[in-house]
Structure 1
Amino acid sequence: MSDSPTASSSTDNPYAVGEATTPTDVDPGVQTTNDGPIDSLSHPSFIGFIATQFFGAFNDNLFKQLLLLLAIPTAVAATVADGTVIEGAAAVEVAGELTDGPAAKPAGGGDLQGIATVVFGLPFVVFGGLAGYLADRYSKRTIIVTSKVAEIAVMGLGLLAFLATPMIGFAGLWIVLFLMGLQSTFFGPGKYGIMPEMLSGNQLNRGNGLVLMTTFIAIIIGTAVAGPLKDSIVPAGVPQMQAASGLWIGSLVCVGIAIVGTITSLLIIRLPAADPTLKLKAEYLAIPKAMRTLLKTDTPLLIALLASCVFWLIAGLTIQAVNSLGKTQLEISDTKTSLMVSLISVGIAAGGAAAGALSRKLSDRVVIQIGMWGVVAFCAVLAISMPGGQHLLGFGGSIPVLMLLGASAAFFAIPIQVFLQARPPEELKGRMIAVMNQANFFAIVMSGVLYQILNTILTSADLPRSTVFGAMAVLFLPVAIFYRPSLDRTVSPVAPATTTPVN
C-alpha cells in the first residue's frame, strides 16, 4: 500500500510535542480549542478531506500496481521482420529483451517488483521524521494542499517517464516512483494529524472510522482497476519496453485523479499550525532518545514492534508474490492478477471486523495465535505446485485462500497495532506511532530486497513462482511458534527520558 501502514489520528509531531500558539492561518470566526471546529461529518470541509484522501490512496495504488504489473516479464510471440507471427515459435522476454526460448513462457528472471518496492518505500523510512516535523511546524491543511499539487507534478512526470521508457529504460519510472513515495510520506502526517484539529471530540471516532473505510475501499478499487486499465491499453504479450511506452495513457488518468484530489483539498478548512515556532533538530530525523529508552526497558513493547515488522515484511512479499504467481505461473491476465491482489485487502477488511468481534469473546492473545497459524497455513497451501509446475489451486482456488490469508493477517496485526498505540505513556504516543510507521516501512523495503533475492534463486533453480509463498511460511513459522504476546495495555511503567516538549 501506498498509504501509511498504520492509521493514526495523533496530532503530535512524531518527534517533538509542542504547545499550540496563536493561529496564523485560520478562517475568521473559527475557535481553536482542544476540540476541532467541525461538529458534523456532513460539513463540506470534512467531505472535501474524505474525498482528498480517497483520491490520493486510489491514485497511489493504481499507479503502483500498474508499475508492478509492468515490472514482471511476459511471454511474447516470436515475429519475423515484417511483423508476422511465427506459429509454433516463441521468444522469451527477460528484463525487456527478447531471447529464443523453447516455449512461450516468461522466464521470471526480469521481475523487477522488488526494486519497485524498495524505491517506493525508501522515502517513508528516510523522510518520515522530517514529514512529522513539518506537519506541526506548518498548518496541516497547507501540507495537504501542497502535497496534492506535488502529486499532479509527479503524475505528469510519470506520463513522460512512460513515454521515454524505450529510450532510457526503467530509470525514469524509478525516479517517479521514488517521488511518489516522497509525496505520500509528506501527505501522511497531515492526513492523520488534521483529524483531531478539524473534528469535535464527539465526531472523532466516527470520522476516523470513515477515513479507514474509505482508504480501504480506495486501495481495493485502485489495485483492481490497474489490471483492466493495463489490459485495455496494452495487448497481451507485448514486451515490457513497448508496453511501458503505451501506458502513458494510464498515467494521464492518474494526472486527472490528482487534479480532482487537489480541487477537493481546497475545501478543507484553514487551521493553525500546531507549533509554528518549532525548530528542526537532528533528533526529529531518527529515533528520539525518549523512544530508545522506552523500547529498551519495555520488553513487551519492543517485541510487539518487532512482530509488527515481521508482519509487514510478509505483507510486502505477498503483493509481489501474487503478481508473479498470476502473470508468470498461472499465466492469467493483468485484470485477473490485480483482482487477486485486491481481494487480499477484502480479506483484511473482513478479518479486521471479525477480529474485533472475536476479541470480545476471546483474548487478544488467542486471536493473534489464530492469525499467526492462519498465515503459515495459507501461505503453505498457496506454495504447492504439481509436477510440471502447474499450481495446485489455480486462479479459482487461490481466490478464497488469499482472502483467508488476508483475514488471518488482520487477526495478527490489529491487536498488536492497538497495543503499540495504547501501551506508551500519553506524551510518547505520537512518537511511538511514528517509530512504528518507520519500522514497518523499513520492513516493506526489506521485503523488496528479499523478493529480488528469492526471484534470483527461483529463476536459477527453475522453481515455480508459488515457491515464494513457501519461503514466507518458513519465515513466519518461528513467529507462530515462539511469539507469546503480552498485550497488557496498561500504560508502560517506564518513565520517559524527558517529558518536556522539544521546541
Structure 2
Amino acid sequence: MSETTADLPTPVDTLAVDFDAGGTATTINRNKGLLSVGFLGLVATQFCVALIDNMFRWLIVPIGSELIGSSELALSIGAACFIVPFLIFAAPAGFLADRFSKRNVMVACKAVEMAVLCLGIAAILLQNVYVMFVVLFLLGGQSTMFITSKLGGIPEMVGTKKIAAANGIINMASMGAIIIGTILGGVLYDLTGPLGLKNWWISAAALLGASGAGFLASLTITPMESANPSRRFTPDIAGQTVRDLRLLWSARPLFLAAAASTFFWTLGMISQLNIYLFADESLHLDLNRDVGVLLGVLTVGVGIGAVLAGICSRGKIELGLVPLGAAGIAAAAMLMAFVPGGAENQPLGAGFYCSCALLFALGVAAGLYDIPLQSFLQDRSPAQSRGSIMAAYNFMTFSGMLVASGLFWLLSSPLGLSARAIFFIGGLAALPVTLLIIGHLPFQTARLATRLLIGLFYRVRVEGVENVPECGALLVANHVSWVDGVLLGLTSPRHPRLIAYAEYFNNPWLNWFGRLGRIIPIGATRKSMVDSIRAARGALQNGEL
C-alpha cells in the first residue's frame, strides 16, 4: 500500500465567485458551514416538518378508517391529500421562494402549521372526518411551500462545495423523522382510545409541542435575500406551472437530472406500496405489527445512503454516484424476487431477514442515486429562478408518485402480478435507466470507477485543497510516476485539463479516456507543442484549471 501526498498551490486570488447556469456571478458566504447555527436550525425545522406530517397522518388515518368503515379508502384518501397539494401549490411555492426571502417563507410556513394543527385537533374532537382530511391537505400545502424554499435556500446557505453534504444530512434527518412520526402517530392513536377522543390532550400536546419547537428552530435559519424581488404573482396557477416546467425543460441538463430523480421517486413509491403486498403474500407477516420493520429498514437505508453520498462527494457534486446507485437499485430490487418465503406459523424466518437486508441495500443505493441529482439541480439553477426550477422539479416527482400508485394498482390487480414479479419488473426497469445515465455521464462514471480502483492501491492524503482558486490557474506538479496526473485529477476540487504526451493516447482505450478527461496532448514536433500551448492558454483564459 502506497501513501501519496498531494500539495496544492497557495491561492493567488481569494475572491470566491460562483457562476450559475445563466452565467451570472453570485457571491457565496463561505463562512456559513454545516455546523453553523443557521444550517442546523434548518435541519431541526425540516425534522419537525416531516415528524408532524407523519404523526398527524397516521393518527387520523385509523380514525378515518373507523368513521368511514373502510381502511383501504382511508389510506387512499390520506395518500391523495398529502400528494395532491404538491401538484396544486407547486407554482405558488416557486413564486414565494423567488419573490421573498426563503428563510421568511419557511418561518411563515411553520406559523401557519400551528394554526392548521389547531383546526385538526378541533376536527378530531368534532369527529368530522372530512375536516380531518382537509387539514391533512393543508399540511401538505404548507409542506410544499416549505420544501421548495428549503431546496432553493440550501445553495445560498452553504455554497457549492457543501451542497451534497448538506442534502445528505437533511435527508437523513427527514428519513428519521418519517420513521419516528409514523410510530408516534400509531402510539397517539392507541393512547387516545377509540376515535382519538380519550385523552385527546395528549395528541394536542404532542402535535403543537413539536410544531412550536419547529417554529423556534426556524427563527435560527440563516437570513437570505430575496432572489427576485421584482417578480409578480400570477393567479393562473396552471399556466404558471406550465411555464415553470418549460423553464426547466429549456435547461436540458437540469431537466434530465429532474427526470432521473422523478424515476427514483416513482420506483420508490411502487416499492413502498409493494412491501405491504410482499409482506402479506410472500412472508405472511402481521401487517399491523411487522410490516413497519420492513418500511423502517428501507427508510433508514435511504438516510444512510444520503449521508454516504454527501461524504463521497468530497466538496463537489459527484454525479458518478448516480449510475452506481442505479445499478444497486436494479440489483437489490431483482433479488427481492428470490427471497425465501415465510411460513404462516413462523413468519420471522430467513425470508424476513433476507428481505430486511435487501431493502436496506435498496435504500442505500437510492440515497447514493438521488442526492447528487438533487444537489446538481440546486447548484446549476439560476439564482433568480431557482424557486421556479425547484417547483417544477417537485411537480414532476410528485406526479411520478401519483402515477406510481395507479401503476401499482394496474400491476397487482387487473394484471394479477405477484409482489415478487413487481419487484423484479422494477429492477429490470432500472437497468436501461442505468445504461442511459452512463451514456450521459461517461466521464463522471469513469472518474468514480478510477477513484475506487486507485483507492485499492494508494492511501492518499490531500493538503491545501482549499487553496485551489476559482479562476484560471496553472498547477505545476512534480512528475514522479504515470499515476501522478490521475491522482491530481481525482483529488482536485475542480477538474484540471492535464497536458500529457500524445503517444500515450494511440491506444483506443486511453484515447477514449483522454477525450473524456479533455486532456491536452502534446507531441514531439514543434507544431504539436505550439498547438498544445495555445490550447492550454485558451483554457486558462476561459477560467479553467
Q: TM-score range by the shorter chain?
A: 0.5 to 0.7
Q: Which residue of 1 aligns with 2:301?
A: 347
Alpha-carbon shift at residue 415 of structure 1 (Å): 5.2
Which amino acid counterpart does residue 134 of structure 2 have in structure 1? Answer: I
Q: Which residue of 1 aligns with 2:182?
A: 226
**Equivalent-residue separation in structure 1 for 2:210 and 2:339 (angstroms):** 35
Q: Do the aligned partners of 2:81 and 2:133 also contact (CA within 8 Å) in 1?
A: yes
2:286 aligned with 1:331: yes
Q: Do the aligned partners of 1:137 and 1:273 also contact (CA within 8 Å) in 2?
A: yes
Do the aligned partners of residues 383 and 225 (structure 1) sit closer, same or farther apart at CA in structure 2, a change above 3 Å counting?
A: farther
Deviations 1:327-376 (A, max 9, x none): 89511545x54343222122123334556788999955751552242243
Q: Which residue of 1 aligns with 2:41?
A: 48
Do the aligned partners of residues 38 and 419 (structure 1) sit closer, same or farther apart at CA in structure 2, a change above 3 Å counting?
A: closer
Secondary structure of 1:286 counterpart: helix
**Equivalent-residue separation in structure 2 for 1:365 and 1:216 (angstroms):** 18
Which amino acid counterpart does residue 442 of structure 1 have in structure 2? Answer: S
Count residues with an aligned counterpart.
Answer: 416
Q: Which residue of 2 aligns with 1:255?
A: 208
Q: Which residue of 1 aligns with 2:542?
A: none
Alignment identity in percent? Answer: 26
2:291 aligned with 1:291: no
Q: Which residue of 2 aligns with 1:113?
A: 75
Q: Do the aligned partners of 2:91 and 2:388 also contact (CA within 8 Å) in 1?
A: no
Matches within 5 A, 1:116-155: 116-155=78-117
2:399 aligned with 1:445: no
Q: Report which of the two has the higher share of helix.
A: 2
Which amino acid counterpart does residue 230 of structure 1 have in structure 2? Answer: G
Which gives a bigger RCO, structure 1 or 2 (Cα 8 Å, sep 6+)?
A: 1
**Equivalent-residue separation in structure 2 for 1:131 and 1:182 (angstroms):** 9
Matches within 5 A, 1:373-388: 373-381=330-338
Q: Which has the larger radius of gyration?
A: 2
Q: CA RMSD in A?
A: 4.7
Unaligned runs of 5+ in 1: 1-9, 21-32, 74-92, 98-108, 491-503
Which amino acid counterpart does residue 56 of structure 2 have in structure 1? Answer: F
**Equivalent-residue separation in structure 2 for 1:305 and 1:325 (angstroms):** 29
Alpha-carbon shift at residue 148 of structure 1 (Å): 0.3
Deviations 1:6-55 (A, max 9, x none): xxxx999x9xx9x99xxxxxxxxxxxx83349646665444433322222
Secondary structure of 2:230 counterpart: coil
Matches within 5 A, 1:264-343: 264-268=217-221, 270-281=223-234, 282=236, 284-288=240-244, 291=247, 294=250, 298=252, 305-322=258-275, 329-331=284-286, 333-334=288-289, 336-343=290-297
**Equivalent-residue separation in structure 2 for 1:157 and 1:288 (angstroms):** 32
**Equivalent-residue separation in structure 1 for 2:396 and 2:220 (angstroms):** 33
Alpha-carbon shift at residue 136 of structure 1 (Å): 2.1
Report the TM-score when normalising by structure 2. Answer: 0.61
1:193 to 152, 157, 167: 152
**Equivalent-residue separation in structure 2 for 1:153 and 1:387 (angstroms):** 47
Which amino acid counterpart does residue 209 of structure 1 have in structure 2? Answer: A
Alpha-carbon shift at residue 406 of structure 1 (Å): 1.1
**Equivalent-residue separation in structure 1 for 2:157 and 2:365 (angstroms):** 34
Deviations 1:151-206 (A, max 9, x none): 112222222333444xx4x423321221111000111232233344455x5xx644
Q: Which residue of 2 aligns with 1:181?
A: 140
Secondary structure of 1:147 counterpart: helix
**Equivalent-residue separation in structure 2 for 1:289 and 1:156 (angstroms):** 35
Secondary structure of 1:331 counterpart: coil
Q: Do the aligned partners of 1:116 and 1:174 also contact (CA within 8 Å) in 2?
A: yes
Alpha-carbon shift at residue 394 of structure 1 (Å): 5.5
Q: Which residue of 2 aligns with 1:501?
A: none
Alpha-carbon shift at residue 306 of structure 1 (Å): 3.9
Secondary structure of 2:440 counterpart: coil
Secondary structure of 1:253 counterpart: helix
Q: Which residue of 2 aligns with 1:404?
A: 361
Secondary structure of 1:410 counterpart: helix
Deviations 1:220-268 (A, max 9, x none): 24423532652465289x9xxx455569544541221001111222334
**Equivalent-residue separation in structure 2 for 1:426 and 1:268 (angstroms):** 19
Secondary structure of 2:140 counterpart: helix
Do the aligned partners of residues 393 and 209 (structure 1) sit closer, same or farther apart at CA in structure 2, a change above 3 Å counting?
A: same
Q: Which residue of 2 aligns with 1:3?
A: none
2:436 aligned with 1:484: yes
**Equivalent-residue separation in structure 2 for 1:456 and 1:263 (angstroms):** 47
**Equivalent-residue separation in structure 2 for 1:416 and 1:269 (angstroms):** 24
